[in-house]
Amino acid sequence: MAKLSVRRHADRDAAEAHYLDAVDRTTPSIPPLITARRDAKWQEAQEWGGPILSAEAQALGCSIQSVIDSVTAARREWCESEAAQEAARIRAKSRIRNAGTPAEMHRAYTDYQAAIERLFSCLEER
């Protein structure tokens, strides 16, 4: 039989701080190197080419335009995903701040976790 743990907080403020922190810890982050590379590729795509995109086109055996189109599409998807993640994070934190009990805070947090999982499962399906 599974055991359920009950977390007790000293007061409402302690519970709120705990769940707000939990949301921030759960929020996915992109490693800095990947972020820098995405930004560099996006910059080159806006300039219609550069050394990174040229190397990618050569490695893939395709045109620079194909790589630019790919980078542009990936950027659009990334922006949509980031916007959805940020909206979910803000919504969860607002629900936590407005919750009357730690149980409501916990529910807001678990709903946030589920929303993030749904977002990532949609991305994996693409």
**What's the pTM?**
0.79
Q: Where are the domains of the chain?
A: 12-23+30-125
**Smallest Cα–Cα separation from 42: which of 24, 22, 56?**
56
3-state SS class at 103: helix
| Burial bucket for residue 44 (CB in 10 Å: 0-12, 13-18, 19+) | buried
Q: What is the pLDDT of residue 9?
A: 87
**DSSP secondary structure string for all residues of 16-62:** HHHHHHHHHHHS----HHHHHHHHHHHHHHHTT--HHHHHHHHHHTS
Rounded to 5°, the CA angle 89-23-36 comes to 70
User: pLDDT tens digits for the chain (126 residues)?
Assistant: 556 566 688 999 999 999 999 999 999 888 999 999 999 999 999 999 999 999 999 999 999 999 999 999 999 999 999 999 999 999 999 999 999 999 999 999 999 999 999 887 875 665
